């Protein structure tokens, strides 16, 4: 009899809670309301940046472990900058022509496989080691090929 009293009390409470949840859900999705498009004029003020105060920390103090004063190493910094500038001059940006790998023509079990590559809009049938328009075909399979252009190696995936 005790269980029946709790069911009689809890069942209406659960029904009321679920009813409230369903009412909230369907009241937000009703199409009866018409939204008005109010064009609002926005006044945008430019954001003013305050100039930051800069400061310099002087780190010329005694080394706590060695007991010596720090020495400036500006000579080493200028040498490293010079090395970086020389390396950047040697490395030029390599502009690759457009390369599209269309697939393999020959049987994949053959020793000499024949690949279809579209290089700058022209179709080429290439074998391993062939060079067309400065592009060397290094290796490949049915999903991708390795091509080399001006010493730079690149992986080209199969185009769908």
pLDDT at residue 10, rounded to an integer = 93
Q: What is the pLDDT of residues 23-40, one digit of tens each?
A: 988 887 655 555 566 667
Predicted confidence at residue 76, as pLDDT, reads 47
d(CA 131, CA 125): 11
- Predicted structure pTM score: 0.43
- The residues, ordered by sequence, that sit 6+ positions from 70 with a Cβ below 8 Å of its Cβ are 59, 60, 61, 63
Going from the N-terminus, what domains does the chain have, and what CATH number goes with each? 99-157 (2.30.30.830)
Dihedral angle computed from the Cα positions of residues 18, 22, 28 and 31, in that order, rounded to the nearest 10 degrees: -160
Q: What is the mean pLDDT of residues 52-77?
A: 72
> Of residues 89 and 93, which shows the higher confidence score?
93
């Amino acid at each position: 009899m005790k269980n029946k009293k709790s069911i009689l009390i809890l069942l209406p409470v659960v029904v009321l809670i679920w009813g409230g949840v369903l009412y909230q859900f369907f009241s937000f999705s009703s199409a009866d309301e018409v939204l008005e498009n109010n064009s609002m004029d926005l006044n945008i003020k430019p954001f003013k940046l305050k100039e930051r105060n800069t400061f310099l920390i002087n780190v010329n103090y005694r080394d706590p472990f060695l007991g010596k004063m720090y020495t400036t190493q500006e000579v080493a910094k200028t040498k490293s900058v010079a090395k970086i500038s020389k390396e950047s001059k040697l490395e030029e940006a390599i502009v690759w022509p457009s390369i599209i790998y269309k697939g393999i023509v020959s049987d994949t079990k053959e020793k000499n496989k024949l690949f279809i590559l579209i290089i700058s809009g022209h179709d080429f049938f290439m074998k391993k080691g062939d060079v067309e328009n400065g592009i060397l075909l290094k290796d490949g399979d049915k999903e991708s090929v390795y091509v080399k252009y001006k010493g730079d190696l690149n992986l080209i995936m199969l185009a769908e």
